[in-house]
Amino acid sequence: MAHAVSTHAPMTASDSPANPADQRLSLVLIALFKGVLYRDADVRLWEALLALEARVRDYVEVLGLMLIVDEAEGHAYLRQRPEEGEDTPLPRLVRRRPLSYPVSLLLALIRKKLAEHDAAGGDPRLILSHEQLVDMLRVFLPETANEARLMDRIDSHINKVVELGFLRRLRGDGDRFEVRRIITGFIDADWLAELDRRLAEYAAHLDDSVDETVPEPRPQPDS
């Protein structure tokens, strides 16, 4: 009589269910590679990041990246590790995007507004209306007889700042925006202290017929 033969291979360690800690590490890394991880967006994922922070740092360091965690403000993100005398620099995983002068200017003005808001105390959230953003920016833009075209351009600059993650439209009210506090990591206090000089530079370069670019503001090392 023939004996039945099992067609299933024996279970190995790799076939066993994933280690819960490894699974949490994977979820944290995926979230960071997709963009900024906010505490208020996913508390459980944020807590996993804090619990596994050392492992996350070790993992991304191999890829030439640094983990920036701001527990006070509740956000974390990855940035490229500075190239310090490396014979063979690693390819960049975090892309640096050039910003137009108006967008860079709007970021500076929003950061200044946040500093003033914090100095006044009260609600930690800064909410700005579309009208406020327009008024902040148009002071520095060249005069034009085409108001509709000017408004279209200002709206495109505001949309870019939203896309970059420094502004978030309030749910149910697209004309009001919350300033995301991650902007403090990209425009620090030292940079802000030179704002008057920078505004003069922006004003000198703003030309309605020219779309020049400047490097995106970068966070200071370990700031």
- pLDDT tens for residues 133-186? 999 988 887 777 888 888 999 999 999 999 888 999 998 887 999 999 888 877
Distance, in Å, from the CA atom of 151 to the CA atom of 174, rounded to the nearest integer, reads 16
Report yes or no on whether pTM surpasses 0.75: no
- Give the CA distances from residue 98 to residues 128, 153, 195, 210, in Å, rounded to whole numbers and listed in that order: 25, 17, 19, 15
Domain boundaries, the chain: 18-80, 99-214
CA torsion 89-94-97-103 (nearest 10°) is -140
**Which of 153, 148, 151, 136 is CA-nearest to residue 209?**
153
Gyration radius from the chain CA atoms: 23
Q: State the first-to-last Cα distance of the chain, in angstroms, to the nearest integer.
A: 76
- pLDDT tens for residues 60-76? 998 888 999 999 888 89
Contacts of 63 (CB under 8 A, 6+ apart): 90, 93
Q: What is the 3-state secondary structure (H, E, C) of 37-69?
A: EECCCCHHHHHHHHHCHHHHHHHHHHCCEEEEE
* Contact call for residues 102 and 157 (beta carbons, < 8 A): yes
> Is the CATH number 3.50.50 carried by domain 99-214?
no
- pLDDT tens for residues 92-142? 555 566 778 888 889 889 998 998 998 888 788 899 999 999 999 888 877
Residue 49 has pLDDT above 80, yes or no: yes
**Which of 78, 72, 81, 65 is CA-nearest to residue 37?**
78
Comparison of pLDDT for 117 and 17, the residue scoring more = 117
